[in-house]
Amino acid sequence: MFIIKCPYCGERDVTEFSYGGDATRAYPQDPAQATPEDWHAYVYERDNPRGWHVEWWQHSQGCRQWLKLRRNTLTHELGRTALPHEPLSPDDDEGSDA
Amino acid sequence: MAEITQRRSPLGGRAEARDINIPDGGTPGVALQHRTGLCITQAAAYPGCDAALRASLAEIAGSEPDARPNRSVAAPAGRLIWTGPAQYWLVTEDPQNPASDLAEATAETAAITEQGHGRVCLRLSGRDARLVLAKGSTIDFHPSHFAAGDCAQTGLLSVSCLIDCIADEDSAPGVGPVFDLYSARSTAEHFLEWAIEAAAPHGCRILTPGSGIAAP
Amino acid sequence: MIGDQLRRHPTLGGALDRSKALRFSFDGQRYSGFQGDTLASALLANGVTLLGRSFKYHRPRGVMSIGSEESNALAELRTGARREPNTRMTQIELFQGLEAQSQNRWPSLNLDLLSINGLVAPFLAAGFYYKTFMRPRGFWEKYEYFIRRAAGLGRASGEADPDRYERIHRHCDILVTGAGAAGLAAAKSAMQAGARVAILDEREAPGGWLRFDRNLIEGAPATVWLDETVAALRAADNVTFLTRTTAFGYYDHNLITAVERVQDHRAVPDPHKPRQRIWTFRAKQVILATGAVEQPLAFADNDRPGVMLAGALRGYLNAYGVMAGHKAVIFSNNDHAYRTALDLIDAGGAIEAVVDVRPSPAGDLVRAVRDRGVRVYTDSIVSHAKGGHALQACDVTPRGGGRPETIECDALGMSGGWNPAVHLHSQTGAKLDWRDDPGCFVPATAKWPCVSVGAANGDFQLADCLANGSEAGAQAAKASMGGTTATAVPGVRAFREERPHPIWEVPLGPDRRGKRFVDFQNDVTVEDVELAHREGFVSVEHLKRYTTMGMATDQGKTSNIAGLAIMARLRDKPIPEVGTTTFRPPFTPVSIGAIAGQERGQHFQPLRRTSMDDWHAENGAVFQNVGLWRRPHYYPHAQEDVDDASRREVTATRGAVGVCDVTTLGKIDVQGPDAAEFLNRIYANGFAKLPVGKARYGLMLREDGMVFDDGVTSRLGETRYLMTTTTGNAGPVMAKLEFYLQTVWPELRVRITSVTEQWAGFSVAGPKAREVLQDVIDIDISDGAFPFMAAAECRFAGAPARLFRISFSGERAYEVNVAADHGAEAWALTVAKAQALGGSVYGLESLGTMRIEKGHVAGTEINGQTTADDLGLGGMLSSKKEFIGKAMTGRPAYLAPDRQKLVGLRPVDGATWIKAGAQLIEDGAAAPPVQMLGHVTAVAFSPELNTPIALALLSGGMARAGAALEAAYPLTGESVRVRVVSPHFLDPEGTRMHG
Amino acid sequence: MTHYSVWSLIKGGLTGQKNWTRAWRDPEPKSSYDVIIIGGGGHGLATAHYLAKLHGVTNVAVLEKGWLGGGNVGRNTTIVRSNYLLDANAHFYEHSLKLWEGLSDDLNYNVMFSQRAVINLAHSKPQLDGFARRGNAMLLNGIDAELLDRDGVQAMVPYFDYSESARFPIYGGLMQRRGGSARHDAVAWGYARSADARGVDLIQNCEVTGFRIEDGRVLGVETTRGFIGAQKVGMAVAGHTSHVAAMAGLNRLPIESHKLQAMVSEGLKPLINQVYTFGAGHFYISQSDKGGLVYGGDLDGYNSYAQRGNYPLIEHVHAAGMALMPSLGRLRLTRHWAGVMDMSMDGSPIIGMTPIEGLYLNAGWCYGGFKATPASGWCFAHTIAQNRPHALNEAFTLNRFETGAQIDERGAGPIPGAH
Ligand SMILES: Cc1cc2nc3c(=O)[nH]c(=O)nc-3n(C[C@H](O)[C@H](O)[C@H](O)COP(=O)(O)OP(=O)(O)OC[C@H]3O[C@@H](n4cnc5c(N)ncnc54)[C@H](O)[C@@H]3O)c2cc1C
Ligand SMILES: NC(=O)c1ccc[n+]([C@@H]2O[C@H](COP(=O)([O-])OP(=O)(O)OC[C@H]3O[C@@H](n4cnc5c(N)ncnc54)[C@H](O)[C@@H]3O)[C@@H](O)[C@H]2O)c1
Ligand SMILES: Cc1cc2nc3c(=O)[nH]c(=O)nc-3n(C[C@H](O)[C@H](O)[C@H](O)COP(=O)(O)O)c2cc1C
Ligand SMILES: [Zn+2]
């Protein structure tokens, strides 16, 4: 039962959030230029790592902000959270933002 | 032509005054009151316009909202409550509905949306009020974490709720902490019944429905 | 004589309030006990030792333990709807009028016919059922019928649970689970450091073994320190102290769940209070002080009633004043059990012998027992316990072999040593270390901020429990909040104890008879473990599953270690290499009702009601649930059924005017300078040029190109739009829009807000719709001023409102939104006007009929498997702009000519109803497998066309127009010949709605 | 191997159970095999059994990183059914159900396949119509189905909340009488024992850590017990598919790993005699032969490889259970656990070829792969032995998403957690 740090509301229980999946996939910047392969990769393919994962969560019962979260899919440890436009990658080595 | 004059809350007739589980001569652990006739005006600034919006709010409400997340302030016109990034609620009483004035003032900077009919408000107060909240939400309601001027949007058992602490043990000695709970109108009946059930073990006094958003 | 508490010691029994005698019954027999008793202690005090039957062999069983690890003494508690099976008698607190029944026996506990299983036991070894019951083929269910009846334990009541439950959440700096010596010491030092502390214990009174053992702290009985410490903790306002509260789960991020039995010790709970309450603790630091569990020894017939754990024998005496036996034998591999001998002797009982497996025990306690003249058989074992429904004697045999000596006894206290209660620690996935002295697993590094102390950490000496507990409390306070205070540790005399000798299975005596139980509740014996080994089930996880060891309600608290140790011996490997099975929550079984808490009845996924809900109910609406909302399905008059009512409603609407509650549609306020651009990217059709005051139907796709949702979006102002969504998708659409806005296009100057709750909505449809509205709406709604697809903000009888000239029914129609607190009144007013004009209200059924007549798609067609093209909406996809899902729409399978597409159907005979869910096939007489061409999505009877009609998704779609097919409904054997027609049954040109 | 029969049991009883031999050997891995199957779960073991039995391929090793059957086959709630709507699924799962019907016999191992009926409950008229659509499709595909009304359900189980005021009133249900449950561990053990008897090496505690691939062709696998060569390698590692496939360079599959929890109550005398699903509340329940109520609900809802669940889901499942069956309140949860699910993008499996020669993939089972075990093994064995899919699995290709030919039974779209 995770405690997720909303960039606005601070630490809140996971039950206030909803999950949005892999946040390393990016909606094609220029949709018209994206190839079918780009779209296929975006819509259907996942790294699905066993370990650190960057993922979307929405603080749906709170401030309704979508945020990125680093989480270990094996241990359920949490790393940093970031706003959508802030960089965050699975191998970001900063353990947490404490 | 017929005119509709009265607002009809989904809690109308359902939250009338009564005592639940209060022994003779005993004091209730909590009190519940349905707050009626509230106008809720939501103001959400466009990117980069937060400061401008706050200035407009200050003009209309008489004080500026606290820019910090999850903070609320008592303004002359009502309460100003942070409800999201660059987004505030101004809660006022009928018939002073500031929505159109605010919309005019913020035409370039913010989206103004009325929400007062979409929410019901229960005021929960008393010695054990924090315990009652802890039966619904996972937030830390200890006085050192959640005191007057703190607010939070959270889940309360099965529904979403905005909790605004308008007074605490220090600011309202004897009354206990006072919280205004705003939740969706469509589930208002469940919300009220849940609150009564959660309050019952502590002894619960339901007060006559009242208007107004001022602290006791 | 039964019922006289003959086994009650005159003075001992710190837990009892002898001034309060209580009456209770077990299997209909009446007994008395005292306030403070458990059902187990009270029955023992009354000399009742046969309390239950085992799972498989139906062996007679007594009580084995004094706590939550109990595996034998299970009963059905209470009667009627409050009956609760499988309740551990060791945890049932006695109350006036308590009624309990034994279980898993027929016809009675004394005479259980299924104990015949014991006789055929040689054939019922572990896993026997995998090897038989295979023939004749398909006969398994017949055997299973009897197996299922023989298995199971207690009986469920089947009646709705009448009691209430609740949940409560608590944050704290430090949570201490277990209020024994170690936990209390920890809580005390944390409290003194000023931390927010919570401490809980599953027993009705705190103290752990301080109440069951006789100890001195600072020279006084330990209960003095106990009482003082508990009083100080209870008085502190930074401490929450809970008893009758079991920590049962330890989850990610230091979340501990606990169940408080608020009123289980009352006959009938106070209706204002919950029967049980679940606490979820979010602690910065957790201190596990859950003590240890004494282990039985696996000797022959170690399950005879009267054989119990040595500590239990002592605990019943000290806390409950129960002399469980007059002639007792102690069988031990450690010093600690000698306390039982000492306590029994000091209480006036007789110890026939102490049997110690060790060659030459000489610790302080051993000496003290010898000093009292008790015979100590060293290097010996109890090889066989004798008796049937009660213990009568036991055989003592030297370990090296030799003749057994039979000793008469009525109680046997066994002790195979103590195992730390590492359950909570292990539930997190944290590891265990093996400690050779005294031979037990102890917690290794914790996964979350947590330490184990006291017996839970393998520190069995009271002095260590107090010192380490105190230190842990101080450290945890420091870790969670800085600063520390030193706490004085009370002085305790340490006994010199010698190392226990691990003995996991006791050899059979020369008679080679008897069953050596490892898992008492599931009847798993040493031989079963050996059999599992012989058959290759050598991993402990295979062992568990093959024999069911550790899978009973006690989850192997007294059996797992012995079982795996025996396997280690068989495999010739050290115990830690064999490992343990996985520990899982809950620590002890938890009521399902408690976990559900208040989320019950109408509080489970609470229904959403519209402003007009009371009106609908008062006017006889039959409701239907749609998502979380309830909506009127139809409004029957007198004896009308749904079809009659709907036909009347539709006729009234098409002929005059109908009014329908559409509040539940999702409504999203979209505002900002870039709102048009935003909508243009979201919707598959163009929105950039929608003029102010106009509405447009919009189609949204999923990223994979399937249709996601549809609805009408109106432009209310230069920078303000109101989007509507389907009822079911309101939430998902909102979250999606927020996602794109916040993460993909943050540069757009747009803010969106759900206003579904803010506005009540109803539609007014039919030729007289304008007539109904024109004098309550404050704007000009003449066709010229307010044509089809017009939208405006306005006032409805003075109330804030919005008006849209849109139509789902195909009639001239308006949709009115009124600020929700005015919804009921606006509705009532409108309905009255409509009725005056010969109109009617209508519900979902009629709504469905009219949309089917018009061929409008809804949820049964927008089912996540259809493309815009499939729904006949392909023309809406803009080729001039990008929109969500566009790129995926061109994939070959989406363009295949045989895709199932929207068509209309009519019965060839013009009369027979077509059924929703029917499958379309060519030939009704074909034998399966039959190729299916499509299916019927929605059906209605069209009053206007005077025929049943249907919508369907059909392979090839309108390319099959005119074809005749079968709408087959083999579930009922029905089939209707149908003809494929246009889905636009009525007024395809739309002249009516354009007005 | 001892043949199991009444006689062998009697002999066991008379000899103190000394007559039994190991159910399977514990061999050292050979240096190479014709076929290596990675994953000693239900599907891997079934594949080995059918390779040996039906295709004569016996020089086979099953490599299991832990203990046989310790994955999802050992932790699932054992619902077996073939009540599917879409043709590809219907034919595949019906083939499976037919194999189930003869499985104990085939394996000489009682897998306790109990055709006690599976019933999907409906809570509104439209939901019942949706079920009818599926039931009609089943019947037309030659699969048994029955539509029940409320009374029909009540006659089977009196303990649900049938009142009009129930939060989710029961309208009826779709029943598949031939559906039911099986003893999950026995399925793994039965296949293991039979494969072993036919010469297959079952190698436990042997984790695959890499692949040896040259010129686009697989040569063998690296393991914690050394390199093992193979002509062909089949992957059947369920929740670990992405992880293992990535070792072979197959990155970014259309799969996410999620976890699903399950729960069991204390043992009870028979209470529920069929399998029920309460889809509207995300809850399902049946009763094991031992007497425990076995129940569960939805996924925890986020990617995870941890075989441990969290509490919010536990709360939700129990609340849903109470909504359906208010007498559950006084019964107790005894244990809950979790498994790692290979959720595919359309909720349907992938059984077939990969771009690498000699490497085959069996994955994407979501939370419904137990019932598929026989057909999955049967089809996978065929695919490996013949180097081409069987008609029954030819739709379940890895690249179906490129063409838009997804097999989306629920219409949930490419949100793996939603299937
Ligand atoms: C709680 C729960 C309930 C379920 N309920 C049902 C149900 O009611 N009905 C139904 O049909 N299905 C159900 N399922 C789904 C079903 O259990 C699975 O889909 C199915 O068992 C998967 O196939 P398997 O048996 O081969 O997988 P597994 O048993 O998981 O086998 C995969 C094996 O691969 C091994 N492995 C992984 N990586 C490696 C490696 N690198 N090297 C070697 N070995 C490796 C694993 O250890 C594992 O043993 C449920 C699942 C769960 C968790
Ligand atoms: N010398 C020995 O060999 C030996 C052996 C056993 C016990 N002891 C004695 O046992 C005591 C050990 O002290 P301690 O404090 O470590 O253990 P304890 O057993 O005295 O206390 C543990 C407490 O935790 C409670 N508990 C256990 N699991 C729980 C759960 N999940 N939820 C809530 N409560 C739970 C128990 O009810 C108990 O009251 C000392 O008095 C010691 O002398 C000694
Ligand atoms: C159908 C089924 C029934 C089960 N019944 C029981 C049971 O009666 N008692 C028990 O302790 N565990 C039971 N389990 C759970 C197992 O003990 C175990 O938790 C599960 O196989 C997962 O393994 P793990 O917990 O070792 O990871 C059952 C599991 C399944 C799949
Ligand atoms: Zn937030």
The predicted-structure confidence for C802-859, as pLDDT tens digits, reads as follows: 999 999 999 999 999 999 999 999 999 999 999 999 999 999 999 999 999 999 999 9
Percent with pLDDT over 90 in chain C: 94
C727 with C765, same domain? Answer: no
Query: Considering the domain boundaries, does residue C107 fall inside one?
Result: yes
Question: How remote is the CA of residue D368 from the centroid of ligand 1, in Å?
Answer: 10
Does D86 score more than 90 pLDDT?
Answer: yes
Averaged pLDDT, D332-343:
98
**Which amino acid would we find at residue C392?**
Q
Query: Considering the domain boundaries, does residue C582 fall inside one?
Result: no
C173 with C318, same domain? Answer: no
What does the pLDDT read at residue A96? Answer: 46
Name chain C contacts of B114, Cβ cutoff 8 Å. 758, 800, 819
Q: How is domain B18-36+118-208 classified at the CATH fold level?
A: Gyrase A; domain 2 (3.30.1360)
Residue-averaged pLDDT of chain C: 96
Name chain A contacts of C252, Cβ cutoff 8 Å. 1-2, 76
Q: What is the 3-state secondary structure (H, E, C) of D124-177?
A: CHHHHHHHHHHHHHHHHCCCCCEEEEHHHHHHHCCCCCCCCCCCCCCCEEEEEC
What does the pLDDT read at residue C643? Answer: 96
* A98: confidence class by pLDDT, cuts 50, 70, 90: very low
Q: Is the separation of the CB atoms in C94 and C22 below 8 Å?
A: yes
Cβ D347 under 6 angstroms from ligand 1: no
* Nearest alpha-carbon partner for C314 in C337, C290, C291, C348: C337
Across the interface, of A16, A64, A65, the residue whose CB is closest to B154 is A16
Pocket test for ligand 3, best of D111, D183, D285, D337 (most atoms within 8 A of CB): D337
* Nearest alpha-carbon partner for B71 in B172, B163, B207: B163
Query: Considering the domain boundaries, does residue C605 fall inside one?
Result: no
Residue C318 belongs to what domain range? 295-416+497-507+520-574
* Nearest alpha-carbon partner for B76 in B66, B88, B64, B63: B63
**What pairs with residue B179 in β-bridges?**
B124, B165
* Nearest alpha-carbon partner for C83 in C591, C499, C570: C591
* C507: confidence class by pLDDT, cuts 50, 70, 90: very high
Q: Which strand (E) or helix (H) includes residue C130? A: none
Give the Cα separation of C352 and C411 in Å (integer).
Answer: 10
| Interacting residues of C991 by C-beta distance below 8 A, sequence separation 6+ | none
Cβ C209 under 6 angstroms from ligand 2: yes
Structurally, chain C folds into a number of domains equal to 6
Between the CA of residue C352 and those of A35, C326, D271, what are the distances in Å? Answer: 88, 9, 47
- Tens of pLDDT, residue by residue over B85-94, are 999 999 999 8
Query: Considering the domain boundaries, does residue A18 fall inside one?
Result: yes
- Tens of pLDDT, residue by residue over C569-606, are 999 999 999 999 999 999 999 999 999 999 999 999 99
Mutate to test the interface with A, among D207, D209, D303, D316 (most CBs of A within 10 A): D303
Query: Considering the domain boundaries, does residue A95 fall inside one?
Result: no
- Tens of pLDDT, residue by residue over D5-48, are 888 889 989 988 999 999 999 999 999 999 999 999 999 999 99
Hey, CA dihedral for A42, A48, A49, A55, is it positive or negative?
A: positive
Interface subset of B 163-202, CB within 8 angstroms of C: 184-187, 189-191, 193-194, 197-198, 200-201
Give the Cα separation of D339 and D309 in Å (integer).
Answer: 9
C325 against A10, higher pLDDT: A10
Cβ D196 under 6 angstroms from ligand 1: no
Does C60 score more than 90 pLDDT?
Answer: yes
Structurally, chain A folds into a number of domains equal to 1
Does D63 score more than 50 pLDDT?
Answer: yes
Query: Considering the domain boundaries, does residue C157 fall inside one?
Result: no
Q: Is the separation of the CB atoms in D354 and D361 below 8 Å?
A: yes
Pocket test for ligand 1, best of D370, D380, D409 (most atoms within 8 A of CB): D370
Cβ C177 under 6 angstroms from ligand 2: yes
Helices C526-534 and C540-547 cross at an angle (nearest 10°) of 120
Query: Considering the domain boundaries, does residue A88 fall inside one?
Result: no
Percent with pLDDT over 90 in chain A: 87
Q: Is the separation of the CB atoms in C12 and C317 below 8 Å?
A: yes
Mutate to test the interface with C, among B20, B169, B186, B187 (most CBs of C within 10 A): B186
C851 with C900, same domain? Answer: no
C626 against C137, higher pLDDT: C626
Residue C80 carries which DSSP code? Answer: G
Name chain C contacts of D105, Cβ cutoff 8 Å. 134-135, 137
C873 with C739, same domain? Answer: yes
Name chain C contacts of D319, Cβ cutoff 8 Å. 595-597, 599-600, 604
- Cβ <8 Å between B155 and A64: no
C138 with C172, same domain? Answer: no
Q: Where are the domains of chain B?
A: 18-36+118-208, 39-116
CATH number of the domain bearing residue A40: 3.30.2270.10
C848 with C947, same domain? Answer: no
Does B1 score more than 80 pLDDT?
Answer: no
Chain B residue with minimum CA distance to A8 = B69
The answer as to CATH 1.10.8.60 being correct for domain B39-116 is no
What does the pLDDT read at residue A4? Answer: 98
What are the structure tokens assigned to C258, written together? 């606990």
C749 with C761, same domain? Answer: no
- Ligand 1 atom having least distance to the Cα of D259: 53
Does C2 score more than 60 pLDDT?
Answer: no
Give the Cα separation of D92 and D89 in Å (integer).
Answer: 5
Does A95 score more than 70 pLDDT?
Answer: no
* C414: confidence class by pLDDT, cuts 50, 70, 90: very high
Q: What ipTM was assigned to the predicted interfaces of this complex?
A: 0.97
What does the pLDDT read at residue C1? Answer: 37
Name chain A contacts of C447, Cβ cutoff 8 Å. 75
Does A41 score more than 50 pLDDT?
Answer: yes
Q: Ligand 3 atom 7: the closest Cα is on which residue?
A: C551
Interface subset of D 397-416, CB within 8 angstroms of A: 401-402, 414-416
Pairing mode of beta strands D359-363, D226-235: parallel
Residue B66 carries which DSSP code? Answer: P
What does the pLDDT read at residue D2? Answer: 84
Pairing mode of beta strands C165-177, C276-288: parallel
Q: Is the separation of the CB atoms in D186 and D221 below 8 Å?
A: no
What does the pLDDT read at residue B197? Answer: 97
C260 with C185, same domain? Answer: yes
**Which amino acid would we find at residue C961?**
A
- Tens of pLDDT, residue by residue over B151-168, are 999 999 999 999 999 999
Give the Cα separation of C411 and C328 in Å (integer).
Answer: 5
- Cβ <8 Å between B186 and C273: no
- Tens of pLDDT, residue by residue over C671-688, are 999 999 999 999 999 999
What are the structure tokens assigned to C974, written together? 């029905």
C126 with C217, same domain? Answer: no
User: What does pTM read for this prediction?
Assistant: 0.97
Pairing mode of beta strands D32-38, D60-63: parallel
Q: Is the separation of the CB atoms in C18 and C8 below 8 Å?
A: no
What does the pLDDT read at residue C3? Answer: 52
Q: What is the 3-state secondary structure (H, E, C) of B122-189?
A: EEEECCCHHHHHHCCCCCCCCCCCCCCCEEEEEEECCEEEEEEEEECCCCCCCCCCEEEEEEEHHHHH
Interface subset of D 22-61, CB within 8 angstroms of C: 22-26
What does the pLDDT read at residue C484? Answer: 64
What are the structure tokens assigned to D336, written together? 């809950």
Chains that touch C (3 or more CB pairs under 8 A): A, B, D
What are the structure tokens assigned to D146, written together? 């029955």
Using a CB cutoff of 5 Å, list residues around ligand 4, an ion: A 6, 8-9, 59, 62-63
C943 with C809, same domain? Answer: no
Pairing mode of beta strands C759-765, C658-661: antiparallel
C76 with C137, same domain? Answer: yes
Query: Considering the domain boundaries, does residue C5 fall inside one?
Result: no
* A97: confidence class by pLDDT, cuts 50, 70, 90: very low
Contacts of C619-627 with C-beta under 8 Å, sequence gap 24+, read C619/C841, C621/C843, C622/C843, C624/C843, C624/C844, C624/D124, C624/D125, C625/D123, C625/D124, C625/D168, C625/D169, C626/C664, C626/C727, C626/C728, C626/C844, C626/D124, C627/C664, C627/C727, C627/C728
- Residue with structure tokens 């200035």? B55
**How many CB atoms neighbour CB D39 within 10 A?**
26
Cβ-Cβ pairs closer than 8 A, A with B, add up to 36
CATH number of the domain bearing residue C104: 3.10.20.440
Residue-averaged pLDDT of chain A: 93
